[in-house]
């Protein structure tokens, strides 16, 4: 996987072109394995560049070296005549000047070039468009002005941003400033004064995801809280440790996905490690705990073991000799048929009121090749055994985790005490639960595997990828989660508040466009309009943000309405036609058989007061160039949480589209 690191404090015109090219590559070829991360600094890397690319083979490239490298490697970036593209890549440097007057000549040349063109080179998007657009967008002198241009340059600039929305994503993130501070906890209003002990001795936290799926909204809370206490509250260290102790469910794909999703959240661990880095150490600790008489080998059948643990019944193998237990553990290590019958259990208690303390399994066989260690190991530690050992070994000072592990806290402390290793402070916080939402990784995996959704990034999925695709902004996501704070109170959240919080981020920068449902749309005839009333007008794309530019609104005596709106009208009712004015509904024609409205006659009344009308409706001109529904399909997706349990257990890929409407 390649990583592009961007210095957020560097001038926008010097870094945004590379970000735009990288975003194009990620959008066109997700399998390229390129990740963009941001650092709150003026320079990055050992050479102090503004942008650094670490390639798959570990090579480091900086600034002007990066775009040529990406073009040479990926065909998707090679569109257009190379000589012409190269010419405009050089000319783009002229748009980095901080003085608008100094750019007068190159701006006029660009304007002349774009007069009869939609793209700078050829008939499609090329590096020339990406780099010139991003340079103009990144330069503070031109970023606001060029959007308001009504000439060919302004048309081209807005066309590129509209047709390729991903190009503006990097600009939006950089404009927001430090990814770490987009949603500071102080602004979120939560109390983080939880009295963590021994913080004066340094703070090291960890986020230990299992690489068996994509991060979901619940994981985001754990990741962000550990990041907050490590980096913002105490200026400490954050470790991301992949808990890869179950090779049956894990893969490098999920490692890469989780790393990328963390960067989207603005989380950049100081160190990344894997539980598999310590398989030898944990194996030796298991031998140690067996030799001390605190663990034993057991071949009790799974169902019988569950019954005995629940009832507080001792296993028939509990008092076997240390020698026999060591011999069976050695047999397990070989992965033999005999060894696979056994597991290792900690000898803690038979009938403790806390069932997590009733001799939990700490090692088991698994012959599936590991995605990092291959066939080296045939035995793997359980999460309960692994975490207390590695937390101590890696220097973690405070283990912050959800209170679903509360019953395991005594077990966690028992392992550290029994092995004679450094103890770690634990703080439990509540899970982030949403009503009617599946957050079980096992069930989400089943949904993906059965083809009930399009993938882990389906907008119905509660994964970070899914909610991002649905439209959630990272600043809003960070703010919302940090606002919940590290409280232990269990609350079921509503998605309504989640998305309403997002609205305040996207509303100020979202251009307004008009569309209507093509099915059963209703033709309307407008009378009383003068020639002046029918003249096209330039209207702002956003009523409160002139920087978004304008759009042309066309008027006509023949317009179209949605069936739902038309059905709501009453005879002689005054309504407001958005972006035009008031009109009076004089006649409603209805099909007797279906009850659907088939025509409307309206009388224009521009002197009317829009504040007094009950209905304010959208409409389109019949004879303007409309985008047909065949080219633009809008699908309304039902919430994933409404999938019934029976359908989850028995559904097939053919059911996928049954969870959609529209």
Whole-angstrom distance, CA of residue 475 vs CA of residue 517? 32
* DSSP codes of every residue in 264-318: HTT---SEEEEGGGGHHHHHHHHHHHHHTTSEEEE---HHHHHHHHHHT---TTT
pLDDT category at 154 given cuts 50, 70, 90 is: confident
Q: How confident is the model at residue 548 (pLDDT cuts 50, 70, 90)?
A: confident
Question: Which whole number is the average pLDDT over 466-494?
Answer: 84
Per the prediction, the chain carries an average pLDDT of 87
Query: CA 76, CA 347: separation in Å to the nearest integer?
Result: 59
* Spatial CA neighbour of 445 closest among 197, 251, 166: 251
Name the residue with higher pLDDT: 243 or 12.
243
Average pLDDT over residues 648-657: 45
Closest CA to 39 of 263, 309, 234, 274: 263
Q: Across residues 160-169, what is the average pLDDT?
A: 76
Instruction: Say how far apart CA 400 and CA 488 lie, in whole Å.
Output: 11
CA distances from 512 to 153, 542, 553, 563 (A): 21, 6, 12, 21
What is the Cα–Cα distance from 367 to 370, expressed in whole angstroms?
Answer: 9
Q: Is the pLDDT of residue 141 over 80?
A: no
Residue 309 and residue 335 in contact, taking contact as beta carbons nearer than 8 Å: no
For the CA atoms of 222, 227, 232, 235, what is the dihedral angle to 10 degrees?
130
267: left (phi over 0), alpha (psi -120 to 50) or beta: beta
**H-helix or E-strand containing 586?**
strand 581-590
* Three-state helix/strand/coil letters over 50-78: CEEEECCCCCEEEHHHHHHHHHHHCHHHC
More confident residue, 494 or 199: 199
Report the C-alpha gap between 131 and 99 in whole angstroms: 19
Is residue 243 scored above 70 in pLDDT?
Answer: yes
Assess whether pLDDT exceeds 70 at residue 642. Answer: no
pLDDT band at residue 178 under the 50/70/90 scheme:
very low
Alpha-helical runs (H) found in 535-630? 563-568
pLDDT recorded at residue 505: 87
| Mean pLDDT of the 290-298 span | 98
Q: What is the pLDDT of residues 614-638, one digit of tens each?
A: 999 999 998 776 655 555 666 777 6
The pLDDT value recorded for residue 148 is 59
Give the Cα-Cα-Cα angle 609, 611, 614 (nearest 5 degrees): 105
Task: Judge residue 610's burial from the number of C-beta atoms within 10 Å of its C-beta, 0-12 exposed, 13-18 middle, 19 or more buried.
Answer: middle
Residue 56: closest CA among 256, 218, 207, 236: 256
Tell me the sheet residues that pair with 401. 428
> 117-121, 149-153, 382-386, 607-611: which range is least confident on average?
149-153
For the annotated catalytic residues, the residue numbers are 210, 431, 441
Strand partners, 2: 34
Whether the pLDDT of residue 195 is over 70: the answer is: yes
User: Sign (positive/negative) of CA torsion 170, 174, 179, 181?
Assistant: negative
Question: What does residue 54 show for φ and ψ, rounded to 5 degrees?
Answer: -100, 115
In whole angstroms, give the CA distance from residue 3 to residue 262: 13
Residues near 153 by beta carbon (within 8 Å), at least 6 away in sequence: 107, 110, 111, 114, 146
Q: How many helices (H) and strands (E) does the chain have?
A: 22, 26
Spatial distance between the Cα atoms of 297 and 332, rounded to a whole number of angstroms: 10
pLDDT at residue 628, rounded to an integer: 57
pLDDT score for 329: 98
CA–CA separation, 15 and 243 (whole Å): 35
Structure tokens at 211: 């690489």
Dist CA 187 CA 185 (whole Å)? 5
Cα distances (angstroms) measured from residue 362 to each of 248, 296, 328, 372: 17, 10, 14, 21
Give the Cα separation of 262 and 224 in Å (integer).
Answer: 9
pLDDT at 440: 81
- Structural contact between residues 26 and 34, judged by C-beta atoms closer than 8 angstroms: yes
The predicted pLDDT at position 170 comes to 64
Q: What's the token pair of residue 419?
A: 């092995």
pLDDT value of residue 174 = 61
Residue 655 has pLDDT above 70, yes or no: no
At residue 147, the pLDDT reads: 60
pLDDT at 662: 34
- pLDDT tier at 494 (50, 70, 90 boundaries)? confident
pLDDT above 50 (res 453): yes
- 537-546 contacts, C-beta under 8 A, 24 or more apart: 538/150, 539/579, 541/511, 541/512, 541/513, 542/508, 542/509, 542/510, 542/511, 542/512, 543/512, 544/508, 545/508, 545/509, 546/148
Do 367 and 377 touch, CB atoms closer than 8 A?
no
Per-residue pLDDT at 149: 63
Q: Are strands 51-54 and 60-62 parallel, antiparallel or unpaired?
A: antiparallel
User: Nearest CA to 430 among 465, 403, 462?
Assistant: 403
The average pLDDT across 533-562 equals: 91
Residue 643 has pLDDT above 70, yes or no: no
Q: Which residues contact 19 (CB under 8 A, 6 or more apart)?
A: 4, 6, 36, 51, 134, 170, 171, 174
**pLDDT for 189:** 54
* Nearest CA-CA partner of 38 in 9, 68, 2: 9
Residues 24-69 have pLDDT tens digits of 888 787 777 788 888 878 888 878 899 999 888 888 999 999 999 9
Residue 269 has pLDDT above 80, yes or no: yes
Measured CA to CA, the distance from residue 387 to residue 208 in angstroms comes to: 9
How many whole angstroms separate alpha carbon 134 and alpha carbon 646? 50
The pLDDT, as a whole number, for residue 150 is: 64
Whole-number Å distance between alpha carbons of 297 and 347:
10
Q: CB count, 10 Å around CB of 32? A: 17
Ordered domains of the chain (ranges, CATH)? 2-175 (1.20.1050.130), 178-509 (3.40.50.620), 522-621 (2.40.240.10)
- Model confidence at 113, pLDDT cuts 50, 70, 90, reads very high
Burial label for 611, CB within 10 Å (0-12, 13-18, 19+), is: exposed
Model confidence over 297-354: pLDDT tens digits?
A: 999 999 999 999 999 999 999 999 999 999 999 999 999 999 999 999 999 999 999 9
Given a cut of 90, is residue 289 above it in pLDDT?
yes
Report whether pLDDT(182) > 60: no
């Amino acid at each position: 996987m390649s990583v592009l690191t961007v210095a957020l404090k560097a001038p926008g015109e010097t870094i945004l072109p590379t970000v735009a090219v990288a975003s194009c590559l990620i959008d066109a070829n997700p399998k390229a394995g390129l990740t963009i991360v941001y650092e709150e600094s003026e320079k990055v890397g050992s050479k102090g560049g503004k942008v650094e690319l670490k390639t798959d083979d570990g090579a480091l490239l900086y600034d002007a070296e990066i775009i040529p490298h990406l073009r040479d490697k990926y065909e998707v970036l090679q569109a257009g005549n190379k000589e012409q593209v190269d010419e405009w890549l050089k000319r783009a440097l002229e748009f980095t000047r901080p003085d608008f007057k100094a750019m007068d000549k190159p701006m006029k040349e660009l304007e002349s070039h774009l007069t009869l063109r939609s793209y700078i080179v050829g008939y499609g998007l090329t590096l020339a468009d990406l780099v010139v657009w991003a340079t103009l967008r990144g330069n503070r002198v031109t970023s606001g002005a060029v959007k308001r241009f009504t000439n060919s340059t302004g048309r081209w600039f807005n066309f590129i941003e509209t047709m390729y929305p991903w190009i503006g994503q990097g600009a939006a993130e950089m404009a927001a400033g430090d990814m770490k501070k987009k949603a500071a906890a102080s602004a979120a209003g939560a109390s983080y004064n939880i009295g963590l002990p021994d913080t004066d001795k340094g703070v090291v936290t960890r986020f230990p995801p299992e690489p068996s799926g994509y991060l979901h909204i619940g994981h985001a809370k754990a990741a962000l809280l550990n990041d907050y206490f490590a980096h913002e509250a105490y200026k400490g260290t954050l470790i991301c440790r992949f808990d890869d102790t179950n090779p049956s469910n894990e893969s490098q794909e999920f490692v890469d996905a989780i790393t990328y999703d963390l960067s989207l959240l603005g989380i950049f661990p100081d160190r990344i490690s894997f539980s598999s880095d310590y398989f030898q150490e944990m194996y030796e600790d298991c031998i140690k705990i067996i030799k001390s008489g605190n663990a034993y080998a057991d071949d009790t059948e799974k169902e019988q073991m569950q019954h005995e643990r629940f009832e507080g019944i001792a296993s028939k193998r509990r008092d076997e000799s240390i020698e026999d237990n060591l011999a069976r553990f050695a047999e397990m290590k070989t992965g033999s048929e005999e060894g696979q019958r056994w597991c290792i259990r900690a000898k803690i208690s038979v009938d403790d009121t806390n069932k997590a303390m009733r001799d939990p399994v700490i090692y088991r066989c698994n012959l599936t090749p590991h995605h990092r260690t291959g066939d080296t190991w045939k035995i793997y530690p359980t999460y309960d055994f692994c975490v207390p050992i590695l937390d101590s070994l890696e220097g973690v000072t405070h283990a912050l985790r959800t209170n679903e592990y509360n019953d395991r806290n005594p077990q966690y402390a028992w392992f550290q005490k029994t092995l004679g290793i450094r103890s770690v402070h634990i703080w439990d916080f509540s899970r982030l639960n949403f009503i009617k939402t599946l957050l079980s990784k096992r069930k989400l995996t089943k949904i993906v595997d059965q083809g009930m959704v399009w993938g882990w990034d389906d907008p119905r999925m509660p994964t970070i990828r899914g909610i991002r695709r649905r439209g959630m902004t990272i600043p809003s996501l960070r703010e919302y989660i940090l606002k919940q704070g590290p409280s232990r109170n269990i609350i079921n959240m509503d998605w309504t508040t989640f998305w309403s919080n997002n609205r305040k981020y996207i509303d100020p920068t979202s251009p307004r466009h008009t569309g209507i449902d093509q099915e059963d749309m209703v033709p309307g005839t407008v009378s009383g309009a003068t020639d002046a009333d029918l003249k096209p007008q330039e209207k702002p794309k956003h009523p409160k943000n002139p920087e978004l530019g304008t759009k042309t609104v066309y008027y006509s005596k023949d317009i179209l309405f949605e069936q739902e709106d038309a059905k709501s009208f009453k005879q002689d009712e005054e309504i407001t036609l958005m972006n035009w004015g008031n009109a009076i509904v004089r006649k409603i024609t209805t099909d007797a058989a279906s009850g659907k409205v088939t025509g409307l006659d309206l009388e224009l009344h521009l002197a009317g007061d829009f504040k007094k009308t009950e209905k304010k409706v959208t409409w389109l001109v019949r004879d303007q160039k409309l985008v047909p529904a065949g080219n633009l399909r809008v699908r309304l997706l039902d919430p994933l949480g409404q999938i019934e349990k029976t359908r989850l257990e028995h559904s097939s890929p053919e059911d996928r589209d049954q969870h959609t409407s529209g």
